[in-house]
Chain A
Amino acid sequence: MEIPFLTSIVIFLPALGALVVALQNNVSSIRWTALGTTLVTFVLSLGLWWGYDPAASAAAPQMVDLSSSWFPDSLDIKYFVGIDGLNIFLILLTTLLGPIVVASSWTYIEKQHRGYYALFLLLQTGITGVFASFDLILFYIFFELTLIPMYFIIGIWGGEDRIYAAIKFVLYTLVGSLLMLVAILFLGYEAGNAVNQGVFTTDWFKLLDYTIPVATQSWLFILFALSFAIKVPLFPLHTWLPDAHVQAPTGGSVILAGVLLKMGTYGLVRFCLPLFPNAAQDWALLFAVLSVIGIIYGALVARVQPDAKKLVAYSSVSHLGFVVLGIFAFTDIAMQGAVIQMVNHGISTGALFLIVGMLYERRHTRLMEDYGGLATSVPVLTSFMIFSVLASAGLPGLNGFVGEFMILLGTFKSEVIASPLIVGLATTGVILAAVYLLYMVYSTFFGELTNDANATMPDMNARELALMLPLAILMFVMGFFPTPFLKQMEPSTTFIMETIQERRADALELQRMQEGMEEGRAVRVTPAPPESGSTSEATPPTTLPE
């Protein structure tokens, strides 16, 4: 059975749930509404996995919902959402984390339940929309939409310095995204003039038809990449993250680390690389160097944090360095590694934040020195912690290894970042991850129980087990059986890589022609190489069957 408008339903069902939540007063029914909505959304999103056929077409998204009637005809801005191998996992991760976050907030959130769950559901709509959008303006709207709920979630339900952290989060991200907006508007007009009969367009596929001059690419790329680099966050733009993580309630941290940061890396893959391939390759080395600095720097700073949550926050800086490195390696293996690592990081870091949150809920402290010896009092929680730590540290057989291995292997082969030194330095992150993560386990869970509050701490309850189990199972499944996931994404990552190649060649060709004309020489137009599956073939029809 095929459900019509499934993609849109998965995007907007949580928003509808938010509306229902907002109309209720009873705490219990608010929680159950939120849980019900997120669960139904998750089940429906499985239909996307089911319905998406990677063999069908590499380029075009599937299960597309398209509507241009929302905007005047003078602008070619569309409601254009769909599923492809690039976003399917991030959407599924979002919908999976939905019910998990609701369940984790069940007793953690002690005030203003209605607002919390409503905002949270709204946030989910925003994030899902970001991943599903194939129109830049639509993408931008969803991108900004995620800011507002997150802002309130940190600012109202956060820790002691929540206001500072919330404002920092918003201002930092906003600066980046406003720069991106400027770039989007410029790009829309330019592309409109070039390929859309003068009509402003932000349709991803139409933008891909427009060969952007190399010089223009440069600054457009910078504006886009800056916005995404803040979101990732890439060193040295990361300092909003530890504050936001530490102050956010557990649910907020899980969403933040799990999927919100991936909007940055996803944006790089979806827009920065294929739209501005020449600039992206020109700047690749810088991004690789910053990634490597992030990997090592994040790890070292994580090691000396006394606060467990801050430690995990800095671990994100380190881990996402791998993802960015993989993206800028421009090889198929590293690209697939980067995409699957986005998901892996969401799962294992989400799990780490959940466990740190469980400890916080029990003892109201995040300082590791307040704990110690917990393995005796809470063996089940300890087991889940060690399992998640191992996944996060990239132990083969668990999910983290697959992504890191493919990224590093692919980067080693990279011709754009042809530097064994960079790969070598990045690989030291594997050592450092063990250093800081095992230190956390050591000081929190091992040793003697010296504190009564720790000794009498209750172990995980059924609700907490229920929300950790799916993540633990996924860590194992994606560690041993990543192939189905890789197969699902391969056509789309291949399409991205091919697009990058073609568009890069086109832009260089354009540059050569312009240079030739400027110098007043006779231009010898070399026909586009036929082997690279000419542009018209690779580009899908812009009018898609409903």
Chain B
Amino acid sequence: MSHDLLVRLILLLPLAGAVLLGVLPLFMPALRRREGLIGTIGTSVVVIPFAIATYLFVSYGGDPVTVSYFTWMEAAELSVDFAYRIDELSLIMTLIVTGVGGVIHLYSAGYMHGDPGFWRFFAYLNLFIFAMLNLVLANNLVVLFLGWEGVGLCSYLLIGFWYTDLKNSAAANKAFIVNRIGDFAFLMAMFLIFSELGSLSFDVLLTDAASVLSAETIDYIVLLLFIGATGKSAQIPLFVWLPDAMAGPTPVSALIHAATMVTSGLYLLARMSPIVLETEVVMMIIAVVGALTAIMAATIAITQNDIKKVLAYSTVSQLGYMFMAAGVGAFFVAIFHVLTHAFFKACLFLGSGSVIHSMEHVEHDLEHEGEDVSDFDPQDMRTMGNLQEYMPSTGWTYFIATLAISGIPLLAGFFSKDEILFKAFEYGYDGNTYAMFVWVVGVITAALTAFYMTRSYYLTFMGEERWPLADKIHPHESSWKMTVPLWILAGGSLVTGFLGLPAVIKDGKWNWIHHYLGANYGGPVAEASVSAHVPGSLEWGLIGLSSAIAVGVFFFARSMYLSQGIAFDVSLKERLGGLYELWEHKYRWDDFYDNVVVEALINQISRDGLAPFDSKIVDGAVNGLAGATQESSSLLRRIQTGVVQNYALALVFGVVLVIGLMIFGG
């Protein structure tokens, strides 16, 4: 079948789902309760594109295929088409989006069961898939931007999904606005590219740009694109929206705020890799910002008690790893980590959703028993414990994903993270001091990651039951609609790492993802070249080091939290003192934004400054002028009768007089 039709189907099915599920039930409330129908439609419009994408993947011949449907905007030298591009990079991303997306849709049918907004939820999710596919399949920056802002919109709608709680809506607004700050930079990058190149199409951009553009222009372009990416992919200083975004239903956190949308910044950099590679200085900024974000978020994650907040900061941290990879010119490794992360982080989020679901049942049961549940938080790990016994599927899959993200050898996260660290080391070995710095930070962060994830697993699934009436009230495993997706994702967390075996094995010939994406092998993703190669023995040593760190920290944290439970947090806090407090308060970023930026802009400048200025000074001047005219002229005073009709008469009279003068006087 033709690509033209297939890409059309991939894009239009989710859109059709969104329109159908969004519009019909809005006007026909009776349809809103048809969960089976809604869930089936909503899930199939993602699963069918996944099947099509699989076919495209299998039949892909090695040469990029572009399809163009119609002209979006055309004026003078500007011409933007709805054009899409199928190549290795977009295929991998499409498979992740529709594959993980399809699984999460299935999960949502179970998770959102009984919610009055079930229909809206699936409409938004479908719309998200449509936007995300535009983002990864676009063949020009403007269509990519359509997807970019579209996923931001869906994120906004889904974070604020339970809108009756204003806190959720506030988090949604925050996400949208912070993302828009990034989008501002993205727009500026497009303006700059267009004014220099006269085109925004990847056909031109990826072939000519690096040779045509001046070095300075490339610096600006890449810097602006990177700022755009810090918004969407939650890096310093724009990461603050992502932890708050956990206000949305958990499948949303898994799909949008872990597996797909937040990785679009990486996708953007990988797509633009031929240009990004041209600017050493901005790449350094990217790598350092990624490293700082990674370690910052990891330290915060240690102090969080909300199971989803741990995962949220963990996501920020893992995204930091991906930026480290991009910053040392290993874009294909960044995409590799996007892929493995999509599996284990989605698995963790969905697992946490399963936990939250059953803790909500506990809350419900407690209420039934006449307990006061006003302080009960179904997301707080301090009220959980020993859930492995009641929820074996959730527990096992969460455990597998925990091992994967911690970098335990042979699981997915081990390979991708290790490759990132190796690339940083290799770049550093080649003489880049900043890359060495990035490597050191990355290794420390790896230890922190193993620590906080192990903590999260043992606090939640092992130890004592810590909710009230624990002997009487028991949590239950979730339905198959939720556990089957968990096992699928856990399976991915086990095996996807083998797609990118380290270079030391078989000289890198078994690194499939490198061979598939890499420009050296005809793929679309460029990579930095290094002159000084790390000897094989040293590479084995590095692998040994990361393995030892991951395993060591895992067993340390395991024994501490198994033996002491939450008490270990207290002793940790005592030992670390002010540092721990800084982590607990998230380095006070939110305080800074709320009390300085928002306060200054909204309250001091706008409310106390501009608004009174507008009514008193700008308008006052006008009124004053009018008043002065009135005072000074007795003639005017007589005319100013205040009767509406007189003014109108005067007006008409004036017009007639003028015309009359012209006709007869001229």
- A residues with a Cβ closer than 8 A to B are 71-72, 74-75, 77, 137, 141, 144-145, 147-148, 151-152, 155-156, 163, 166-168, 170-172, 174, 181, 185, 200, 236, 238-240, 297, 300-301, 303-305, 331-333, 336-337, 373, 375-376, 379-380, 383, 390, 395-397, 402, 405-406, 408-410, 412-413, 420, 423-424, 427-428, 430-431, 434-435, 438-439, 442, 445-449, 480-483, 486-487, 490
CA distance A424 to B188 in the complex (A): 7
Q: B77 within 8 Å of A by Cβ?
A: yes
B74 within 8 A of A: yes
A-B contact pairs, 27 of them (CB 8 A): A77-B662, A137-B662, A145-B655, A151-B648, A238-B618, A297-B610, A297-B614, A300-B601, A304-B602, A304-B610, A333-B75, A333-B77, A336-B75, A376-B164, A380-B27, A396-B149, A396-B150, A405-B142, A406-B73, A409-B191, A413-B194, A420-B192, A439-B173, A442-B169, A447-B164, A447-B165, A448-B164
Tell whether, in the assembled complex, residue B170 and residue A442 are in contact, meaning their CB atoms are under 8 Å apart.
yes
Do A301 and B614 touch (CB < 8 A)?
Answer: yes
Q: Which residues of B contact A409 (CB under 8 A)?
A: 78, 190-191, 194
Q: Find out whether the CB atom of B194 lies under 8 angstroms from the CB atom of A152.
A: no
Contact yes or no, B187 A430, CB < 8 A: yes
Task: Check if A490 sits within 8 Å of B75, measured CB to CB.
Answer: yes
Which residue in chain B gives the minimum CB-CB distance to A490?
B75
B153 at the binding interface (Cβ < 8 Å): yes
Provide the bound-state CA to CA distance between A200 and B663, in Å: 11
In the complex, which residue of chain B has the Cβ closest to the Cβ of A302? B606
Please state if B622 and A406 are interface contacts (CB–CB under 8 Å): no
Chain B min CB distance to A475 (Å): 14
- Bound CA–CA A486/B71 (angstroms): 11
From B76, B180, B187, A333 is in contact (CB under 8 Å) with B76
**Secondary structure at chain A's binding surface: helix, strand, loop or mixed?**
helix
Within the complex, the shortest CB–CB distance from B326 to chain A, in Å, comes to 25
Contact check, A300 vs B183: say whether CB atoms are below 8 A apart: no
What chain B residues lie within 8 Å of A410 (beta carbons)?
78
Minimal beta-carbon separation of B195 from chain A (angstroms) = 5
Q: Which residues of B line the A interface, CB within 8 A?
A: 26-27, 70-78, 142, 145-146, 149-150, 153, 156, 160, 163-166, 169-170, 173, 176-177, 180-181, 183-184, 187-188, 190-192, 194-195, 601-602, 605-607, 610-611, 614-615, 618-619, 622, 626, 642, 644, 647-648, 651-652, 655, 658-659, 662-664, 666
The answer to whether B184 and A427 have CB atoms under 8 Å apart is yes
A72-B663, A181-B658, A431-B181 as given contacts; A442 in contact with B173, CB under 8 Å:
yes
Q: Provide the bound-state CA to CA distance between A431 and B659, in Å.
A: 48
A141 B647 Cβ-Cβ under 8 A: no
Interface of B is mostly: helix
Q: Is the CB of A408 within 8 A of B176?
A: no
Residues A239 and B78 in contact in the complex (CB < 8 Å), given A155-B644, A303-B606: no
Instruction: Give the shortest distance, in Å, between B612 (CB) and chain A (any CB).
Output: 10
With both beta carbons as reference points, the residue of chain A lying nearest to B22 in the complex is identified as A383
Question: Cβ of B74: which chain A residues have Cβ within 8 Å of it?
Answer: 483, 486-487
CA distance in complex: A430, B177 (Å):
10
CA distance A291 to B76 in the complex (A): 24
Complexed CA–CA distance, A445 and B652 (Å):
45
Bound form: Cα–Cα A152–B648 in Å: 9
Residue of B176, B181, B610, B666 near A75 (CB, 8 A) is B666
The smallest C-beta distance from B641 to any residue of chain A, in angstroms, reads 11
Q: Residue of B at shortest CB range from A74?
A: B666
Cβ contact within 8 Å between A332 and B75: yes
Q: How distant is the Cα of A486 from the Cα of B72 in the complex, in angstroms?
A: 10
Asked if A303 contacts B150 (CB within 8 A), the reply is: no
Report the Cα distance A434→B177, complex, angstroms. Answer: 6
Q: Which of A72, A395, A442, A447 contacts B666 (CB under 8 A)?
A: A72
Contact B184 A430 (CB under 8 A): yes
User: Smallest CB–CB gap between A150 and chain B, Å?
Assistant: 11
Question: Is the beta-carbon distance between B177 and A148 smaller than 8 angstroms?
Answer: no
Given A380-B26, A447-B166, A396 contacting B146 (CB threshold 8 A): yes
Check B176 against A438 for contact (C-beta < 8 Å).
yes
Q: How far is the CA of A430 from the CA of B146 in the complex (A)?
A: 14
Assess the A163–B644 pair: CB atoms within 8 A.
yes
Report how far A168 CA is from B70 CA in the complex, Å.
48
For B178, give the chain A residue with the smallest CB separation: A431
Closest 7 CB pairs of A and B: A332-B76, A239-B619, A412-B191, A446-B169, A396-B146, A300-B606, A446-B163
Complex CA–CA separation, A396 to B82 (angstroms): 12
A170 to B663, Cβ gap below 8 A? no
List of A residues within 8 angstroms of B146 by Cβ: 396-397
CA distance A297 to B176 in the complex (A): 21
Known: A75-B662, A172-B622, A200-B666. A482 touches B72 (CB 8 A): yes
Whether A170 contacts B651 by the Cβ 8 Å rule is yes
The complex places the Cα of A203 from the Cα of B31 at a distance, in Å, of 61
- B residues near A137, Cβ cutoff 8 Å: 659, 662
A397 to chain B, nearest CB (A): 6
Q: Is the CB of B663 within 8 A of A71?
A: yes
Contact check, A375 vs B163: say whether CB atoms are below 8 A apart.
yes
Query: Chain A contacts of B160 at CB under 8 A?
Result: 446
Report how far A239 CA is from B454 CA in the complex, Å: 61
| Residue pair B177, A141 in contact (C-beta under 8 Å) | no
By beta carbon, the residue of chain A nearest B607 is A304
Question: What residues of B have a CB within 8 angstroms of the CB of A396 in the complex?
Answer: 142, 145-146, 149-150
CB closest chain-A residue, reference B78: A333
With contacts A239-B622, A303-B602 taken as known, whether A406 is within 8 angstroms of B75 at the C-beta atoms is yes
Asked if B173 and A438 sit within 8 Å, CB to CB, the answer is yes
Contact yes or no, B75 A170, CB < 8 A:
no
Known: A396-B146, A412-B192. A431 touches B177 (CB 8 A): yes
Is the CB–CB distance between B626 and A171 below 8 Å? yes
- Assuming A303-B606, A304-B611, is B76 touching A170 (CB within 8 A)? no
Whether B149 pairs with A395 at a CB distance below 8 angstroms is: yes
Contact A166 B644 (CB under 8 A): yes
B27 / chain A contacts, CB cutoff of 8 Å: 380
CB <8 Å contact, A427 and B187: yes
Instruction: Give the complex CA separation of A236 and B621 in angstroms.
Output: 10
Taken together as a complex, chains A and B put the C-alpha atoms of A331 and B75 apart, in Å, by 10
With a cutoff of 8 Å between Cβ atoms, the chain B residues found around residue A240 in the complex are 622
Are the C-beta atoms of A337 and B184 separated by less than 8 Å? no
Closest chain B CB from A389 CB (angstroms): 11
- The CA-CA distance from A360 to B355 in the complex, in Å, is 45
- B153 close to A170 (CB less than 8 A): no
16 additional A-B residue pairs with CB within 8 Å, beyond A337-B75, A434-B177: A144-B651, A152-B644, A171-B626, A185-B662, A301-B611, A333-B75, A409-B78, A420-B191, A427-B191, A446-B166, A447-B166, A448-B166, A481-B70, A483-B70, A483-B73, A486-B74
With a cutoff of 8 Å between Cβ atoms, the chain A residues found around residue B619 in the complex are 239
Chain B contacts of A483 at CB under 8 A? 70-74
B353 CB to closest chain A CB (Å) equals 23
CB closest chain-A residue, reference B173: A438
Distance in angstroms between the alpha carbons of A375 and B606 in the assembled complex:
28
Instruction: Contacts A166-B644, A332-B75, A434-B177 given; indicate if A300 touches B610 (C-beta within 8 A).
Output: yes
Q: Which A residues lie within 8 Å of B195 (CB)?
A: 412-413
A439 contact set on B, CB distance < 8 A: 173
Give the distance to chain B from A538, nearest Cβ to Cβ, in Å: 18
- List of B residues within 8 angstroms of A71 by Cβ: 662-663
